[in-house]
Amino acid sequence: MNQEKLNPAFDLSGQTALITGGGTGLGLGMARCFVASGARVVLVGRRKDELKKACATLGKNAFPLPGDVTKLESAPQLVEQAEKLAGPLAILVNNAGVHLKKPATETSDVEFANVLQTHLFGAFALTREAGRRMIERRTGCVLFTASMASFMGIPQVVAYSAAKSAYLGVVRALATEWGPHGVRVNAIAPGWVASDMLNQAMRGDPARKAKIIGRTPLARFGEPDDVGWAAVYLASPAAKFVTGVVLPVDGGAAIGF
pLDDT over 90, % of the chain: 84
Whether 172 maps to a domain, the answer reads yes
CB 125, CB 69: distance < 8 Å: yes
Decide if 216 is inside a domain. no
Residue 202 lies in a domain: no
Cα 202 to Cα 14, 207, 216: the distances in Å are: 40, 9, 16
Q: What is the pLDDT of residue 1?
A: 35
Taking the CB of residue 215, how many other CB atoms lie within 10 A of it? Answer: 18
Cα dihedral 135, 139, 145, 149 sign: positive
17 in any annotated domain: yes
Q: Give the separation between CA 81 and CA 141, rounded to whole angstroms.
A: 19
**C-alpha–C-alpha distance, residues 112 and 203, integer Å:** 26
Q: Round to whole Å and give the CA distance between 25 and 251.
A: 18
Q: What is this structure's pTM?
A: 0.94
Domain that holds residue 133: 3-195+224-249
- Asked if residue 36 is part of any domain, the answer here is yes
Count structural domains, the chain. Answer: 1
Q: Give the Cβ contact number of residue 129 at 10 Å.
A: 20
In the prediction, which pLDDT does 99 show?
Answer: 85
| Model confidence pLDDT, tens digit, residues 1-47 | 344 555 689 999 999 999 999 888 999 999 999 999 999 999 999 99
Mark whether 160 is an active-site residue. Answer: yes
Sheet with strand 183-190: strands edge to edge: 62-66, 40-45, 16-20, 89-94, 140-145, 183-190, 246-249
- Identify the segments of the chain with pLDDT beneath 70: 1-7, 201
Q: Which residues pair with 142 in a beta bridge?
A: 92, 185
CATH number for 80: 3.40.50.720
Burial class from Cβ neighbours inside 10 Å (0-12, 13-18, 19+) for residue 200 reads exposed
Q: Which of 63, 112, 124, 160 does the annotation list as catalytic?
A: 160
Residues 6 or more apart from 75 whose CB is under 8 A from it? 69, 125, 126, 128, 129
